[in-house]
Chains A and B, each alone.
Chain A
């Protein structure tokens, strides 16, 4: 008796739901799903090729000889490769520090204060983001030569300094927009409350503002680090002999012979990147649990 009564009350929504769902054709949904999965496979395909060919024991990357770990041993025993990785990591760290500091400050300023200058700054940052790398690269090279050779500012002759500056241009704009997006979504009242309670500006920043913007700062720093590791065009123009970063080394060996060591080292770097990403995802999910708002890695990276 009660069962039938329940059934009658439960019945209307159940019949209504399928009808609403029947409208978009199920075939369409299945096709969309297939399309999405094939798209993901497409995105992963060359990465999987590189990982597979990193186990190639042949002398040339492209021609498969046999399966083995030789290339990994060779890569780590090759002082040139190890040196280029060190250059890349140092440049990436430097670029991440510079871009994160510049970008975080600018992001806070843009989110918290409107004015005529914000339009100009956004235009400048946008321009830095839409200028093709090749144009940036060919304009930075003569500028560094002018600064270093003609004006005698020898710091601009250092390969590392050049790499950090070149890589930071795009990255600091990215960090600015990520931090601005985060700050724009936050209420200013917390900071005002701290100010009303007499907290000096620096304390207010470290105890209120910074913890709020931390997820954006972390993902901004991570993005600038990986953007720098990835950068080939700017690096191949501004780098000087003795501080060749990893992508420039790979690019140069493209003209001679590609060895499986390159695939092996790339696989190692991919694994390291994944570990770093996982760590950041954990940090961010903890932060979001603490503050109670959803800011997953994906969300933050997608723009706050």
Chain B
């Protein structure tokens, strides 16, 4: 009787208390996000707003970088001239080809690392992938410049074994830039792919084989759908900085392999036309956002298609994936 009487009051308080304690604790950490928000608004959003404002202005005279006395869209018209569009088109080509090549080269590498290697070797190989990445980006690109130069050792070697007659004519072309960007951004593709594939439950692959799927169907119906978030992240990580790259084409591109980043930089550094440079930067930013959104929509559609395909197929792994 007493135990029944005392038990409910003793048991009742703890039930409402944990949520309150939780709220008390978590409520006190929200403010920790304020400094970073202030920092990014002040040094990222506001500066971006500033060049957006400049892009509607003009360069009034030789010695003044910008003026917003007269507002117009004239700088955008000026920015979209044939020379800019040619470079822009070349940049987009290099970026799309580069992203595709990074997927094609990076996926088998990431698959090998995540699936075929033992867990111990995996850590070592991930470290090996990262080591070159921690050498200065610019210095690594200079390594390619040395390699590809007409008087370089590769040219001598290729001449020596008879594969080439005369100096190597690759440096300062679009191909050199293409090679450079694939090289420079490959680790950014490998790592997210590796993370996605490493998290994959290998039992799913075994199950798919036990259920009669061959290598090909297991790959398309199990591996690819599971790796899709990693592929998307990798493509984003490669494509976006590649579109704005300014170092690789400066080192390897010369005049025939120049990219948009160099044109934007030139307006700010050499021509001192901040209004036009701002307009070009905004155009670049908008183009990147458009492509990223298009990628996102495309991948969502692919994801839906794959899911439907899996439902229709004899091999139903959706339950396990979810």
Whether the pair B50, A138 counts as a contact (CB closer than 8 A) is: no
Q: What are the residues of chain B within 8 A of A266 when measuring CB–CB?
A: 135-136, 139
Whether the pair A169, B43 counts as a contact (CB closer than 8 A) is: yes
Q: Which residue of A lies closest to B152 (CB)?
A: A62
* A 105-124 binary contact with B (CB < 8 Å = 1; else 0): 11011101101011001001
CA distance A9 to B116 in the complex (A): 29
Count, chain B residues at interface, CB 8 A:
100
CA distance A119 to B241 in the complex (A): 23
Among residues 112 to 141 in chain A, which have CB atoms less than 8 Å away from a CB atom of chain B?
112-113, 115, 117-118, 121, 124-125, 127-128, 130-141
Closest Cβ of chain B to A55, distance in Å, is 13
Q: What are the residues of chain B within 8 A of A138 when measuring CB–CB?
A: 51, 264-265, 268, 277-278, 281
Closest Cβ of chain B to A45, distance in Å, is 7
Whether the pair B146, A49 counts as a contact (CB closer than 8 A) is: yes
Whether the pair A191, B25 counts as a contact (CB closer than 8 A) is: yes
For A108, give its contact among B29, B50, B264 (CB under 8 Å).
B29
Q: Which residue of B lies closest to A37 (CB)?
A: B112
CA distance A139 to B267 in the complex (A): 12
CA distance A195 to B250 in the complex (A): 56
Whether the pair B127, A297 counts as a contact (CB closer than 8 A) is: yes
Kindly state whether residue B18 has any CB partner on chain A within 8 Å. yes
* Binding stretch for chain A, among B1-9, B74-82, B284-292, B308-316: B284-292
CA distance A302 to B230 in the complex (A): 12
Among residues 33 to 52 in chain B, which have CB atoms less than 8 Å away from a CB atom of chain A?
33, 35-37, 39-41, 43-48, 50-51
Whether the pair B125, A40 counts as a contact (CB closer than 8 A) is: yes
Whether the pair B149, A139 counts as a contact (CB closer than 8 A) is: no
Closest Cβ of chain B to A246, distance in Å, is 8
* Binding stretch for chain B, among A66-74, A75-83, A267-275: A267-275
Whether the pair B142, A110 counts as a contact (CB closer than 8 A) is: no
Whether the pair B129, A43 counts as a contact (CB closer than 8 A) is: yes
Given contacts A42-B183, A110-B33, A298-B123, are A49 and B143 in contact (CB under 8 A)? yes
Which interface residue of B24, B112, B277 has the most chain A CB atoms within 10 A?
Answer: B112
* Binding stretch for chain A, among B158-166, B186-194, B299-307: B186-194
For A121, give its contact among B37, B137, B250, B288 (CB under 8 Å).
B37
For B141, give its contact among A25, A46, A121, A191 (CB under 8 Å).
A46
Whether the pair A124, B37 counts as a contact (CB closer than 8 A) is: yes
Kindly state whether residue A293 has any CB partner on chain B within 8 Å. no
Whether the pair B21, A143 counts as a contact (CB closer than 8 A) is: no
Closest Cβ of chain B to A273, distance in Å, is 5
Among residues 15 to 31 in chain B, which have CB atoms less than 8 Å away from a CB atom of chain A?
18, 21-22, 24-31
* B 249-286 binary contact with A (CB < 8 Å = 1; else 0): 01100000000010011001100001001100100110
Among residues 231 to 275 in chain A, which have CB atoms less than 8 Å away from a CB atom of chain B?
232-233, 237, 246-247, 250-251, 254, 258, 262-263, 266, 269-270, 273-274
* B 109-126 binary contact with A (CB < 8 Å = 1; else 0): 101110010000011011
For A33, give its contact among B116, B127, B138, B139 (CB under 8 Å).
B116
Q: What are the residues of chain B within 8 A of A117 when measuring CB–CB?
A: 30, 33
Q: What are the residues of chain B within 8 A of A61 when measuring CB–CB?
A: 142, 146
Q: What are the residues of chain A within 8 A of B247 when measuring CB–CB?
A: 232-233, 251
Q: What are the residues of chain A within 8 A of B138 when measuring CB–CB?
A: 232, 247, 250-251, 254
CA distance A61 to B153 in the complex (A): 12
Q: Which residue of B lies closest to A49 (CB)?
A: B143
Q: Which residue of A lies closest to B244 (CB)?
A: A132
Q: What are the residues of chain A within 8 A of B128 when measuring CB–CB?
A: 40, 43-44
Closest Cβ of chain B to A129, distance in Å, is 8
Q: Which residue of B lies closest to A298 (CB)?
A: B126
Q: What are the residues of chain B within 8 A of A32 when measuring CB–CB?
A: 108, 111-112, 116
Among residues 1 to 48 in chain A, which have CB atoms less than 8 Å away from a CB atom of chain B?
20, 23-25, 28-29, 32-33, 35-36, 39-40, 42-48
For B113, give its contact among A36, A166, A269 (CB under 8 Å).
A36
Among residues 218 to 269 in chain B, which have CB atoms less than 8 Å away from a CB atom of chain A?
236, 240-241, 243-247, 250-251, 261, 264-265, 268-269
For A134, give its contact among B132, B134, B244 (CB under 8 Å).
B244
Given contacts A62-B146, A109-B30, A232-B247, are A146 and B136 in contact (CB under 8 A)? no
Whether the pair B26, A45 counts as a contact (CB closer than 8 A) is: no
Whether the pair B30, A139 counts as a contact (CB closer than 8 A) is: no
Closest Cβ of chain B to A58, distance in Å, is 12
Using CB atoms and an 8 Å cutoff, list the residues of chain A in contact with chain B: 20, 23-25, 28-29, 32-33, 35-36, 39-40, 42-50, 53, 61-64, 101-103, 105-106, 108-110, 112-113, 115, 117-118, 121, 124-125, 127-128, 130-143, 146, 165-166, 168-169, 172-173, 176, 188, 191-192, 195-196, 201, 226, 229-230, 232-233, 237, 246-247, 250-251, 254, 258, 262-263, 266, 269-270, 273-274, 277, 281, 296-299, 301-303
Can you sample 13 A-B contacts with CB below 8 Å? A23-B215, A36-B125, A124-B45, A130-B240, A131-B44, A138-B277, A138-B278, A172-B36, A195-B25, A247-B137, A262-B142, A274-B134, A298-B130
8 shortest interchain CB distances as A-B pairs: A132-B244, A46-B143, A143-B47, A298-B126, A36-B112, A105-B32, A109-B33, A139-B47
